[in-house]
Amino acid sequence: MIKKYKPTTPARRHYTVSDYSVLSRDEPFKKLTAFKRKDLGRSKGKITVRHKGGGNKKLYRSIFFGEEKKGVPGIVKTIEYDPNRSSFISLISYEDGAWGYILAPQGLKVGDKIICDEKTPLKKGNRMRLKNIPVGAFIHNIEVKAGAGGKLAKSAGSAAQIIAQDGKYTHLKMPSSEVRTIQNIYYASLGQLSNIEHKMVSVGKAGRSRHMGIRPKVRGTAMNPVDHPYGGGEGRTKRGTRKPKSIYGKVTGGKKTRKKKRYSDKFIIVRRKKK
């Protein structure tokens, strides 16, 4: 659910936020937080990534992406906001006395029991091997290398769907519409990730972007010829180059950026559909 504001100012007219009513009111678990250093898009003092800088301070939350507590049941204590990612997170109290954060799937509630094991009940938040998950199920936080933790489908509202079990491989339909195979000995968590309407949020004003650490962008056509391939000219002029290019002169539109001999090509059955 998206929360809208009354248009008391021009900025508020289009200002929306995610509905945080599902979140717990507890403070972050102090032992699982750490100071996060900001690089501000710089390396050795030089800007290497443009349009980054400033923003509010963020406390990093340490999250279990893999099978750190395999075979140990846990209970969901809170559903919390995490400034470092788009989905919500859950604080879990494990039976062995340990505490940990996990990515919270949609519908997970305080008091629910979860477990990570080779085979578990088909409940949201449980984590198990791909070969034990039935066809049609939605999953997130998917491993692609044993013991390395989840790497795929980790942002708000993301989920991959199991469409077939074929020998030692599982066929997945990814959020991008790509169909690929993954070895079925790898782990994945059940359910679709929380904060589904995150992509529908309208920032509404420039100041909010600055709070997020995003600095202003300048159009290439507004620059000088020395600064951008689109720059220069009297007044508003056309691009001046046959193909769209970046500030560094590299072709951006219509050019494939994927490596021609990428190792994972053999796992892709159907390429993602173009928008």
Which CATH homologous superfamily contains domain 2-199? Nucleic acid-binding proteins (2.40.50.140)
For residue 242, count other CB atoms closer than 10 A to its CB: 7
- 39-72 in b/e burial notation, b at 16+ Cβ within 10 A? eeeeeeeeeeeeebbebeeeeebebbbbbebeeb
The model's pTM: 0.90
Q: How many CA atoms lie within 13 A of 73 on its CB side?
A: 7
pLDDT tens, residue order, the chain (275 aa): 789 999 999 989 999 999 899 999 999 999 999 998 888 888 998 999 999 999 999 999 999 999 999 999 999 999 999 999 999 999 999 999 999 999 999 999 999 999 999 999 999 999 999 999 999 999 999 999 998 999 999 999 999 999 999 989 999 999 999 999 999 999 999 999 999 999 999 999 999 999 999 999 999 999 999 999 999 999 999 988 889 999 999 998 888 888 989 988 999 999 988 77
